[in-house]
Amino acid sequence: MPHWQEKIVLVTGASRGLGRVIAETFAESGAKLVLAARGEEALNRAAAELREAGHEVLAVPTDVTDTDQVTALIERTIEHFGGLDVLVNNVGRSARGELARTPLAEVREMFELNVISVIGCTQAALPHLLKSRGHVVNIGSLASRVAPRYLGAYALSKFPLAAYSQQLRLELGSQGLHVLLVCPGPIAGDDRTRYAGENLDGLPESAAKPGGGAKISLLRPEKVAREILTACEKRRPELVLPRKARILFALSAISPRLGDWLLGRSMSSEPKNPE
């Protein structure tokens, strides 16, 4: 039997983008899906398309920053499917701006969406994931490990996912929980050149590009999704794409000064074509 056959997979932010592709990839591997997103129309459209392709899908409109809605999401999942094997915490938002001029209200908003919602969804799902010896997949970013210029509060709100993922592994890994931190670079197909809450005044034009203008190839979402499934099957702790970014992470840990210099040199360039 294929590894994911009949497994129950819940993906937040599943109506579009990487979340939608992750959900579809799990479904094509035999999993049953629970799709969650705030926009009901887009969510229902994504669910209908997946059902037309022959997949079993439950769609639950959910604002993951609302504790009551998250509780209802997990309850509906268990009522409908009887269990849960994988939680993919995919909801998140990027930003642009200078930290010195980023309003504190925006920092709070970014933490609420990119950090607190991950913790809330995970805590609600944990009893069921421990029972199934299942998986928590936290979608971070290369900015979970390094903090480039001009990303506003984004890196601030992605770094905590690395700590949270590691602590969960150490606390609950012995009980069978697998926790995967995914650190991808810019994803192809993300046509957002402006960011909510941004302040691009005085910033270079490259700051509004994917990855803040990093000299890095755009990743195809299908490749990222396939790599996530493989990493879960092998119960790996972390997935970094592109893999060469690990070199920067290691050098930054050894010498912050060298890491800053290398990161500065990697910016202010057009992103390359998708890998």
Question: Residue 98: is it exposed, middle or buried by C-beta count within 10 angstroms (0-12/13-18/19+)?
Answer: middle
- pLDDT average, residue stretch 102-122: 96
**3-class SS of residue 62:** coil
154 assigned to active site: yes
What pLDDT, on a 0 to 100 scale, did the predictor assign at position 62? 98
d(CA 183, CA 89): 13
The better pLDDT of the pair 248, 220 is held by: 220
What pLDDT, on a 0 to 100 scale, did the predictor assign at position 261? 87
Catalytic residue among 150, 154, 164, 195: 154
Q: Which residue from 89, 91, 109 is spatially nearest to 198, judged by alpha carbons?
A: 109
What pLDDT, on a 0 to 100 scale, did the predictor assign at position 53? 96
Question: Residue 228: is it exposed, middle or buried by C-beta count within 10 angstroms (0-12/13-18/19+)?
Answer: buried
List the structure tokens of 266.
């990697």
Q: Over the stretch 137-156, which tens digit does the pLDDT of each residue have? A: 999 999 999 888 888 899 99
d(CA 56, CA 23): 11
Q: Is residue 250 part of a domain?
A: yes
Q: Is residue 2 part of a domain?
A: no
Q: Over the stretch 8-38, which tens digit does the pLDDT of each residue have? A: 999 999 999 999 999 999 999 999 999 999 9
What pLDDT, on a 0 to 100 scale, did the predictor assign at position 46? 97
What pLDDT, on a 0 to 100 scale, did the predictor assign at position 60? 98
Q: Is residue 120 part of a domain?
A: yes
What pLDDT, on a 0 to 100 scale, did the predictor assign at position 197? 45
- Residues 123, 87: contact at Cβ < 8 Å? no
Q: What is the CATH number of the domain that holds 180?
A: 3.40.50.720
Q: Is residue 148 part of a domain?
A: yes
What pLDDT, on a 0 to 100 scale, did the predictor assign at position 265? 80
- pLDDT average, residue stretch 41-69: 97
What pLDDT, on a 0 to 100 scale, did the predictor assign at position 274? 55
Q: Over the stretch 63-94, which tens digit does the pLDDT of each residue have? A: 999 999 999 999 999 999 999 999 999 999 98
Q: Is residue 272 part of a domain?
A: no
DSSP string spanning 132-178?
Answer: HT-EEEEE--GGGT---TTBTTHHHHHHHHHHHHHHHHHHHGGGT-E
Q: Is residue 55 part of a domain?
A: yes
What pLDDT, on a 0 to 100 scale, did the predictor assign at position 22? 98
d(CA 182, CA 196): 23
Q: Is residue 1 part of a domain?
A: no
What pLDDT, on a 0 to 100 scale, did the predictor assign at position 271? 46
- Residues 35, 46: contact at Cβ < 8 Å? yes
Q: Is residue 3 part of a domain?
A: no
Number of folded domains in the chain? 1
d(CA 144, CA 109): 17
What Cα–Cα distance (Å) separates residue 77 from each residue in 34, 87, 106, 196, 206?
Answer: 7, 11, 32, 31, 42
Full-model pTM: 0.91
Domain ranges, residue 108 = 8-266
Q: Over the stretch 173-225, which tens digit does the pLDDT of each residue have? A: 999 999 999 999 999 875 544 444 456 777 777 677 776 666 778 999 999 99
What Cα–Cα distance (Å) separates residue 252 from each residue in 98, 140, 142, 146, 246?
Answer: 21, 18, 13, 8, 10
The residues, any chain, with a CB within 8 Å of residue 44's CB and separated by 6 or more, are 59
Q: Over the stretch 116-136, which tens digit does the pLDDT of each residue have? A: 999 999 999 999 999 999 999
